[in-house]
Amino acid sequence: MTDEYSRIGPAATRRQVLGAAGAVAGALMLTGSPGSAQTRPPPDAGADTPVEPMDVTLLINGRTRQMRLDPRTTLLDALREHLALTGTKKGCDHGQCGACTVLLDGRRINACLTLAVMHDGQAITTIEGLANGDTLHPMQAAFVQHDGFQCGYCTSGQICSAVGMIAESHAGMPSYITDELAAAHPNLSEQEIRERMSGDICRCRGGWRNPDNPISGKSA
């Protein structure tokens, strides 16, 4: 390849330059070069390689559940497809709607954005685990009393998120709009509730039925 360019003198014509460049390009196509398609593995190399399942133990709603899962299984799919806990809903599956919200060691998370194997040994609370037998959790009872159910699909995520929101406030965690960051317990004003619940989206808009309800879908 160097010889091709060495033939071009100081007064090389345009035809000579193009001819030399063509010769070099042809040589590279035949022999390959570092990083070329001929030296890289095909894009789907290893795509059919089986993935070894992993054992994972989760404390779900106070009950120890042991599973053997593909390590790529999301926490959402583990709950719904492997444990039949379908109260946790799959909405956007991209962490944008909040329908899959559950509590992880008391903190709210989107179950669609995390892998089940990442939480081995941790405690998960779903909507099914909030009630105490036939006695509703106070937040569940509040949603019933204040007509916060809407169509019902996103409700389980909203309730879990609201429970987590109150726990965060009691722990002194500020939101984006909190004025007094040093306050022991930020005041849960309507504006604070709207901000803290903004990750839970109502798609049916049924919450507009009750304009006086700060936790209804009108804030989403």
Q: What is the pLDDT of residue 50?
A: 83
Q: How many CA atoms lie within 13 A of 148 on its CB side?
A: 24
Contacts of 61 (CB under 8 A, 6+ apart): 85, 124, 125, 126, 128, 129
Length of the chain, in residues? 220
What total number of domains does the chain contain?
Answer: 2
Domain match, 32 and 68 both: no
> What pLDDT is attached to residue 37?
47
Based on the domain organization, do 29 and 107 belong to the same domain? no
Let me know whether 80 and 101 are in one domain. Answer: yes
Q: Are residues 16 and 122 in the same domain?
A: no
What are the residues facing 109 on neighbouring strands?
102
Q: Give ∠ CA 192-198-202 in degrees, rounded to 5.
A: 130
Residues 40 and 76 in one domain: no
- pLDDT value for 87: 95
The DSSP line for the chain is -HHHHHT--TT--HHHHHHHHHHHHHHHHHH--TTSTTTSPPTTTTTTPPPPPEEEEEEETTEEEEEEE-TT-BHHHIIIIIS--TTS--SSSSSSS-TTEEEETTEEEEGGGSBGGGGTT-EEE-GGGTSBTTBPPHHHHHHHHTT--TTSTTHHHHHHHHHHHHHHHHTT---TT-S-TT-SS----HHHHHHHTTTS--SS-GGGG-TT-TTSGGG-
Per-residue model confidence (pLDDT) at position 63: 96
pLDDT of the residue at 193? 92
Query: Does residue 98 share a domain with residue 5?
Result: no
pLDDT tens track of the chain, all 220 residues?
445 445 545 555 555 655 665 665 555 555 544 444 445 556 665 566 788 999 999 999 999 999 999 999 999 999 999 999 999 999 999 999 999 999 999 999 999 999 999 999 999 999 999 999 999 999 999 999 988 877 889 999 999 999 999 999 888 888 888 888 777 777 889 999 999 999 998 877 654 445 555 444 443 3
Same domain, 40 and 133: no
- Residues 35, 114 within the same domain: no
Chain position carrying tokens 């409700």: 155
Q: Can you give the pLDDT at residue 29?
A: 55
Q: Is residue 189 part of a domain?
A: yes
Q: What's the domain range around 20?
A: 1-44
Global pTM exceeds 0.75: no
- CATH number for position 63: 3.10.20.30
Regarding whether 133 and 24 lie in a shared domain, the answer is: no
Does some domain include residue 49? Answer: no
